[in-house]
Amino acid sequence: MASAGPRKYIIRVPATSANIGPGFDVVGLSLSLWLTLTVTVPPTTTSPSTPSYEPPKLSYEGEGASDVPLNPYKNLLTRVALYVLRCHNIRLFPSHTTIHVSNQIPFGRGLGSSGAAVIAGVLLGNTLGGLNLPLPRLLDHALMVERHPDNVTAALVGGFIGSYLRELDEEASEAASVPLSEVLPEYPEDASENWGLDPPLAPVGIGHWVRFGWEKSIRAVAIVPRFELSTAKARGVLPNEYSRKDLVFNLQRLAVLTTALGQSPPDPELIYEAMKDRIHQPYRKALIPGLPEVTSSITPSTHPGLLGICLSGAGPTILALATHNFEAIAEDARKIFQEKGIEIDWKLLEVVGGSTVEEV
Ligand SMILES: Nc1ncnc2c1ncn2[C@@H]1O[C@H](COP(=O)(O)OP(=O)(O)O)[C@@H](O)[C@H]1O
Ligand SMILES: N[C@@H](CCOP(=O)(O)O)C(=O)O
C-alpha cells in the first residue's frame, strides 16, 4: 500500500458484441465504444488503519451516469477491483484515490457493459495493487465474476475472439463455483481491516482463447432499441437442454463463420446463413419484439452490403455486419421496430484492439 509519488492512469476497455449468431457463450467481438477510467492516486498514501483513511471517490459521465452507484463498495467496477486487491492480501483501496469514469457503452443493451466494467475493475485492482498480473491471470479473476467468457475475453484482448473455459478438477471447480455474492460481497460502508472472510481465489488457467482473422472492410452497425434487457433475464428464458439437430445447426454455422469473417472479399451468402442461430435467439424473441422480423427481412439481397445480422449478446441490440449501405440497413430496421412501438438509435462501429492501461 506504500506509494512512491503521484500517479495517474487511464484505463480503457471496449464494448463487445457476444455470440455473433451461433457462437453462444463462445465468440465475442470488441467494438469502438469505450469505458474510460481516469484514476489518480495521491503522492502520500494514508495507511488504511488510520482515522483519516478515505475510500475512493467515484464520478461518472456518459452512459449510465444517472443510475450507477457512486459508493465504491456498491459499484460493480470498484467491487471487482477490491476483490482482486483482497485476493492479493491488500485489504483496502489506497486512501484518497479518485476514479472518474467516462462511459460510452449503454447499460443492458447487449453491448457488454457489464463485461467491460468487470475488466475495468480487474485492471483497476491490478494497477492500484501494483500486482503485474499476466493476461491469463487477469482473465481468471474476471471469470470469477462474469462466468461466460465471450464478452470479458474479447474486451480484454480485443478483436474477434473464440474462447472456452477449461474443465477444472474437483477442487478448482468448487473454487470457481462459489456464489457471486461471496466473490463480490456487499461491503460495509465504513473502512475497517476486518471485513468478513478472505475472498475465494480464482483457479489458475480458467479461460483460453484464440483470435480469428477479421476482414478490414467489415463494419458493425449496432441497432440499439431504447429499452434495457438485463443479461440475467435474457439467460433466464433459455432451456437447459437442446436437440442434437439444433446443436449441429449451430456448430456447422459457427465453424464456417469464424473463417468466413476473415476472408477477402467477404461472401454475403455464406455469412448471412452462418450467422443464424437456434440456441438462444428463438427463445429471446419474446423479450425483443421485432427481432425475428428484423433478422429475416434485412438480407444481402434486400440490402446489398449486408453480410449477416443477429442479436448482439443477450440483446436487445441487433448487430448487422456490412461493408456498405449502413444507413439503409439501420433505417429499415428502425421502421420494423417502430411498427412494434420501439424506438432505436444506431451506431456505426469498428472492430478495435483490447483494453489498455496507460500511466500519464
Ligand atoms: N461502467 C459501469 N459501472 C458500473 N456498473 C456497470 C457499468 N456497466 C455496467 N454496469 C452494471 O451492469 C449492468 C448491465 O449488465 P447486463 O445486464 O449484463 O447488460 P450488458 O448487456 O450491458 O452487459 C448495469 O445495469 C450495471 O448494474
Ligand atoms: N453469451 C452471453 C452474452 C451476454 O452479452 P451481454 O452483452 O448481453 O452481456 C449471452 O448471450 O447471454
Q: Which atom of ligand 2 is nearest to the CA of 17?
A: 7
Same domain, 283 and 217: yes
Residue 356 maps to a domain: no
Same domain, 173 and 307: no
In terms of domains, do 29 and 97 share one?
yes
Give the distance between the most distant pair of CA atoms in the chain: 68
Contact 162, 210 (CB under 8 A): yes
pLDDT (mean) for 90-119: 97
> Which one of 166, 183, 208 terminates a domain?
208
Q: Are residues 139 and 282 in the same domain?
A: no
Report whether residue 141 contacts ligand 1, using a CB cutoff of 6 Å.
Answer: no
What is the count of structural domains for the chain? 2
Q: Read off the pLDDT of residues 195-204 as tens digits, 9 standing for 90 and up.
A: 666 889 999 9
Compute, in angstroms, the gap from residue 111 CA to the centroid of ligand 1: 10
Cβ–ligand 1 distance for 315 under 6 Å, the answer no
Tell me the pLDDT tens digit for each residue of 220-275.
999 999 999 999 999 999 999 999 999 999 999 999 999 999 999 999 999 999 99
What local confidence, expressed as pLDDT, does residue 3 receive?
A: 46
Do 250 and 285 lie in one domain? The reply is: yes
Beta carbon of 108 within 6 Å of any ligand 1 atom: yes
Give all strands (DSSP E) within the chain, no chain letters: 7-18, 27-41, 57-62, 98-103, 160-165, 207-211, 219-225, 306-311, 318-322, 344-349, 356-359
Centroid of ligand 1 to alpha carbon of 232 (angstroms): 11
Condensed to tens digits (0 to 9), the pLDDT of residues 272-297 reads 999 999 999 999 999 999 999 999 99
Ligand 2 atom at shortest distance from the alpha carbon of 19: 1
Residue with cell 495507511: 47
* Gap between the Cα atoms of 224 and 236, Å rounded: 21
Pair 220, 153 in one domain: no
Q: Is 221 helix (H, G, I), strand (E, B) or coil?
A: strand
Q: How many angstroms is it from 119 CA to the middle of ligand 1?
A: 12
Say if residue 145 is in the same domain as residue 18. yes
Q: Are residues 172 and 237 in the same domain?
A: no
- Predicted pLDDT of residue 174: 86
Among protein residues, the one whose CA lies closest to atom 25 of ligand 1: 107
Residue 338 shares a structural domain with residue 201 = no
Is there a domain that residue 72 lies in? yes
Whether the predicted pLDDT of 321 surpasses 80: yes
Task: Tell me: pLDDT of 47 over 60.
Answer: no
Same domain? 202 vs 217: no
Mean pLDDT of 51-57: 88
In a domain, 118, yes or no: yes
- Using the 3D structure, point to which of 166, 188, 208 is the last residue of a domain: 208
- Is 359 part of a structural domain of the chain? no
Region of poorest pLDDT, from 29-33, 54-58, 186-190, 312-316: 186-190
Question: Are 168 and 240 part of one and the same domain?
Answer: no
Q: Is 75 in the pocket of ligand 1 (CB under 6 A)?
A: yes
**Which range has the worst mean pLDDT, 36-50, 67-81, 267-281, 320-334?**
36-50
Q: Given a cut of 70, is residue 45 above it in pLDDT? A: no
Q: Are residues 76 and 36 in the same domain?
A: yes
Q: Would you say the CB of residue 230 lies under 6 angstroms from ligand 1?
A: yes
Query: Structural domain of residue 141, as residue ranges?
Result: 7-208
Cα(117) to ligand 2 centroid in Å equals 14
The enclosing domain of 130 has a CATH number of 3.30.230.10
In this structure, what CATH number is given to the domain that contains residue 276? 3.30.70.890
Q: Is 110 in the pocket of ligand 1 (CB under 6 A)?
A: yes
In the reported structure, the alpha carbon of residue 172 is separated from the centroid of ligand 2 by a whole-number distance in angstroms of 24
Domain-terminating residue out of 191, 208, 225: 208
Domain-embedded: residue 35? yes
In a domain, 354, yes or no: no
pLDDT at 192: 55
Q: 179 pLDDT band (50/70/90 cuts)?
A: confident
Give 322's contacts (C-beta < 8 A, 6+ positions apart).
218, 219, 221, 303, 305, 306, 307, 329
Query: Atom of ligand 2 at shortest distance to CA of 280?
Result: 11
Mean per-residue pLDDT of the chain: 94
Asked whether residue 357 is assigned to any structural domain, the reply reads no
First CA to last CA across the chain, in angstroms? 20
Residue 146: HSE in the Cβ half-sphere, 13 Å Cα cutoff: 30
Report the pLDDT averaged over residues 80-99.
Answer: 95
Instruction: Check: CB of residue 188 under 8 Å from CB of residue 282.
Output: no
